[in-house]
Amino acid sequence: GAGVSQSPSNKVTEKGKDVELRCDPISGHTALYWYRQSLGQGLEFLIYFQGNSAPDKSGLPSDRFSAERTGGSVSTLTIQRTQQEDSAVYLCASSQGTSGHNEQFFGPGTRLTVL
Amino acid sequence: DAKTTQPTSMDCAEGRAANLPCNHSTISGNEYVYWYRQIHSQGPQYIIHGLKNNETNEMASLIITEDRKSSTLILPHATLRDTAVYYCIVRLPRNSYSGAGSYQLTFGKGTKLSVIP
């Protein structure tokens, strides 16, 4: 597609439920990043995928968070047993591999609200 | 990454040029200047980057002073849709990073640009 797409755009869930957030990166981009942004705050890095390499999970806040990227394209971020502090906008970005770390193209985000 | 300083907010009349300054006095010789913006309720958007020379693309122009201690992002004909927070960041060349998390983008406070009808 022309840009990074994410779904759903909004997700409201109850505390304790699991959620899955999807990201479709720009075609041909080998690098994919997940961030989250709380209201009025900066970007918080979560996880990074590059090609077939093992992902960098150093930003994941707890073991309730996991992500996978199938076939080097679509990625899914899963949050298990959601908590209210997980409420944020979850942003996905992609870039042209290691040559594009500083030019990341972001999706519109998924706004997650945990009640 | 070098520290940057931007004004907290700016207003610009619709149709006029918006000039957004950024100070980066501690920039090192091989660090680039990047600009992103974030429109309300949207993800950040890459705008432009440069090293020494002035750069122009379909979105904006970037003017970097000769000593590289400051730069100005220029939106030549601001529209209401340009209302956003604009972030100036300074980073090493795009393939210079290694190690966990070194490629993550970190934004400062940025400049909130309001385009006035």
| CA of A83 vs chain B CAs: smallest distance (Å) | 22
Q: Which of the pair, B28 or A16, is modelled with greater confidence? A: A16
Q: What percent of chain A is predicted at pLDDT more than 70?
A: 95
| CA of B76 vs chain A CAs: smallest distance (Å) | 22
Q: Is the pLDDT of residue A2 over 70?
A: yes
Six-digit token string for A56:
């960098």
Chain A partners of B95 at a C-beta cutoff of 8 Å? 98-99, 101
Mean per-residue pLDDT for A73-81? 96
In DSSP terms, A105 is beta-bridged to A94
CA A27, distance to chain mean position in Å, is 17
**Would you say A5 and A29 are in contact if contact means Cβ atoms under 8 Å apart?**
no
Q: What are phi and psi of A99, to 5 degrees?
A: -80, -5
Q: Is the pLDDT of residue A64 over 90?
A: yes
- What pLDDT does residue B94 have? 58
Q: Do B94 and A58 touch (CB under 8 A)?
A: no
- What pLDDT does residue B98 have? 57
- What pLDDT does residue B36 have? 95
Q: Do A59 and B91 touch (CB under 8 A)?
A: no
Q: What are phi and psi of B68, to 5 degrees?
A: 60, 15
pLDDT tens for each residue of B47-101: 999 999 899 999 999 999 999 999 999 999 999 999 999 999 998 765 555 554 5
**Would you say A89 and A113 are in contact if contact means Cβ atoms under 8 Å apart?**
no
pLDDT tens for each residue of A6-15: 999 999 999 9
